[in-house]
Chain A
Amino acid sequence: MQTSENILELKGVKTYFSTTKGVVKAVDDISFSIGRGEIVGLVGESGSGKSMTSLSIMGLVPQPAGKTVAGEILFHGEDLLKKNDEQMRQIRGDKISMILQDPMVSLNQILSVKYQIGEVFRYHDKSILGSLKEMCIGVLKKVKVPSPELRVNDYPFQFSGGMCQRTIIGMGIANGPDLLIADEPTTALDVTIQAQVLQLMKQVQEETNAAILMITHDLGTVAQLCTRVLVMYAGRIIEKAPVNTFYKNPSHPYAIGLIKSVPVLGRKSDRLYSIEGQPPNLLNPPTGCRFAARCEQAMPICTQEYPPEVSLEADHQVSCWLFAEKGEQ
């Protein structure tokens, strides 16, 4: 959008889950794009569908209950949803990679670190580039795991949480991907370790120029790391904005409420703003705006029809009737 070249573009993607109670619309008609070298934050509360968005891009939506039923996921202009399993496998871990939330469970505890890093090379025909062990040590060096020559033979349970997450980041960037998806990469870590990992990711991004899709619920992390923000609520994206605009001048009532409800260090107020109520059930989402029930500025139309996406500026879009034509009636 603001950069000339889009690495990834999602158009009207819907990922649904069929359960016996009905269809859960985990991701419902979302569109966005990521340019080369951008760090985009995808913000939302638990259950808003942000993890499902990332798994949809990876083609790893849990089968057979879940399925991406509509839309296009264009990666370098090619639709990932049209690729077969083997083609997707070759892209994963090479051109697109991903970091999961809990480092202690996303590494296999009974396989050595060397083996697990080595897989990234072995299955993408990179092993001809040199000795596998050297390459693994190189990965650990890049993410600043201390004494990598010794630690490479260790098992994940001998690593601390921070080191595990470094290793996973290392595996993610080992083949120089164009896109790195990070799903809550620091949530399970302590504050000081979290800062180290964020700094590492920023540094890695500068070195490799990979685009990063940062999925998080933590507005602090987004402010520190991202260039652009997408806000997700109940399966839909409700606002897209550059990071400065988002924090200074948010438009959607939910985004405003979200920012105001976070306590900020050094800016103590008597009361926090709080959004009353609970997010809707995705099994039977309301027909209109999904935030209408909790919104202080809700109008009659909000509960009847889903608002269109309105551009406030070139790179600032919002889905809210307050800004759409019909809503002003």
Chain B
Amino acid sequence: MTKEISIEVKGLSKHFPVTSGVIFSKTVGVVKAVDNISFSINHGETLGIVGESGCGKSTTANLVLGLDKPTSGQIIVQGEDVAKLKGESLFKFRRKVQAVFQDPFRSLNPRKKIRHIVSEPLMVHKVGSSWQIKQKALELLELVGINPQRADLYPHEFSGGQRQRIAIARALSLNPSIIILDEPVSALDVSIQAQILNLLMDLREKFSLTFLIISHDLAVVEHVSTHIGVMYLGRIVELSPAAELYKNPLHPYTRALLAASPVADPDVKLKAVLEGEVPSPMNPPTGCTFHPRCPDCKPECKSREHKMHEITPGHFVSCLNFSS
């Protein structure tokens, strides 16, 4: 496999204005949902992004998918800047990047037969004749383990896991090279979750796909990813190869997250628990946004913002303790 860069994100920010007013609205503040993040994913690799709710991970997914325009920064997908795409070029870009989202109950149009759900991208992009499209849809269903004889049923006749399979079939229909997975298994039961994760990994192998997987569940992300980024209040605080992150977590937040994730083994006991709660993104703390909860906080942390530093090859962290 060549080390070809699939997605490169440079200094990406997305700020949402907060407005108030009954008749005339005025901007009273900004939420920095995503604040100056950078990462890159090589072809065939999987980057997992973990973080708690409101840390900006879903906004990141929307930006990479071109559903939202960034406030600043660049997203370069196979040589093209997503933010600059418009009209025809954006339409073409859609063929390369597809997505699977969290809630299998909300990600399929309840009024359409699953055959139409799976073939809609093909119809919109006019790939082949209607007969070919129909055949392709059945093949895709078969591929993800749905009996093609059920193609004329509606989504409500399927269970959560099956719906997620249908959503995956749809994402694959245009032969994309990149798939964005936004919490793909968090709405599923444990035994179904394993089925879907296995399916995703098989498909990645088979079609040499590049994944960007977003989840709050560190164990799931660790299981499928080659690299992991940890997000806190709109920023990536640590980015490293998956194995390295678990063995040698550097940022205090990463350590806290690892300690807080309950492990399904009674011998591994919960370690130190992080105090306090995530501050409001409308009013983030100065300096390092993590400093009010940080066990290793130094006076300078309150005022100085940190840049990412490469500690070992491929392992970046944004913390004063490691900025040599």
Inside 8 A of B88's CB, which chain A residues have their CB?
none
Inside 8 A of A70's CB, which chain B residues have their CB?
none
Which of A223, A263, A264 gathers the greatest number of chain B CB atoms within 10 Å?
Answer: A263
A19 at the interface (CB under 8 A from B): no
Report the number of A-B residue pairs with Cβ-Cβ less than 8 Å: 127
The contact size tier of chain B is 35 or more
Interface-facing stretch out of A112-120, A170-178, A186-194:
A186-194
* CA gap between A259 and B265 in the complex, in Å: 9
Contact between A259 and B194 (Cβ–Cβ < 8 Å)?
A: no
Query: A190 with B52: in contact, given A195-B274, A247-B264, A258-B190 (CB under 8 Å)?
Result: yes
Inside 8 A of B197's CB, which chain A residues have their CB?
263, 272
Contact between A199 and B273 (Cβ–Cβ < 8 Å)?
A: yes
A104 at the interface (CB under 8 A from B): no
Inside 8 A of A243's CB, which chain B residues have their CB?
266
CB under 8 Å from chain A, chain B span 237-269 = 242-243, 246-247, 256-266, 268-269
Query: A266 with B246: in contact, given A192-B257, A223-B264, A274-B198 (CB under 8 Å)?
Result: yes
Contact between A191 and B270 (Cβ–Cβ < 8 Å)?
A: no
Among A196, A221, A264, A271, contact of B219 (Cβ-Cβ < 8 Å) = A264
B195 at the interface (CB under 8 A from A): yes
Interface-facing stretch out of A58-66, A135-143, A212-220:
A212-220
Which of B159, B195, B222, B223 gathers the greatest number of chain A CB atoms within 10 Å?
Answer: B223
B161 at the interface (CB under 8 A from A): yes
Inside 8 A of B222's CB, which chain A residues have their CB?
263, 265-266, 268
Contact between B219 and A192 (Cβ–Cβ < 8 Å)?
A: no
Query: A191 with B260: in contact, given A160-B277, A262-B190 (CB under 8 Å)?
Result: yes
Inside 8 A of A258's CB, which chain B residues have their CB?
190-191
Secondary structure of the B side of the interface? helix
Query: A223 with B194: in contact, given A45-B189, A160-B277, A190-B278 (CB under 8 Å)?
Result: no
Which of B52, B192, B218, B274 gathers the greatest number of chain A CB atoms within 10 Å?
Answer: B192
Contact with A along B209-252 (1 / 0, CB 8 A): 00000001011101100000000000000000011001100000
Contact between B243 and A268 (Cβ–Cβ < 8 Å)?
A: yes
Query: A194 with B260: in contact, given A199-B270, A272-B194 (CB under 8 Å)?
Result: yes
A3 at the interface (CB under 8 A from B): no
B78 at the interface (CB under 8 A from A): no
Inside 8 A of A194's CB, which chain B residues have their CB?
260, 262
Count how many chain A residues have C-beta atoms less than 8 Å from C-beta atoms of the other chain: 44
Contact between A264 and B191 (Cβ–Cβ < 8 Å)?
A: no
A46 at the interface (CB under 8 A from B): yes
* CA gap between A264 and B222 in the complex, in Å: 9
Among B161, B190, B277, contact of A219 (Cβ-Cβ < 8 Å) = B190
Contact between B263 and A220 (Cβ–Cβ < 8 Å)?
A: yes
* CA gap between A226 and B161 in the complex, in Å: 29
B53 at the interface (CB under 8 A from A): yes
A276 at the interface (CB under 8 A from B): yes
Among B201, B216, B264, B265, contact of A191 (Cβ-Cβ < 8 Å) = B216
A278 at the interface (CB under 8 A from B): yes
A90 at the interface (CB under 8 A from B): no
A93 at the interface (CB under 8 A from B): no
B193 at the interface (CB under 8 A from A): yes
Inside 8 A of A263's CB, which chain B residues have their CB?
194, 197, 219-220, 222-223
Contact with B along A248-283 (1 / 0, CB 8 A): 000000000111011111101111111110100000
The 9 closest A-B pairs by CB, nearest first: A220-B262, A261-B194, A195-B260, A274-B194, A263-B223, A190-B52, A45-B189, A219-B264, A272-B194
- List chain B positions with a Cβ less than 8 A from chain A: 52-53, 159, 161-162, 189-195, 197-198, 201, 216, 218-220, 222-223, 242-243, 246-247, 256-266, 268-270, 273-275, 277-278
Query: Can you report 13 residue pairs joining A to B where beta carbons are below 8 Å apart?
Result: A160-B277, A191-B260, A192-B273, A192-B278, A194-B260, A195-B259, A223-B266, A224-B262, A224-B263, A247-B266, A258-B190, A272-B223, A278-B162
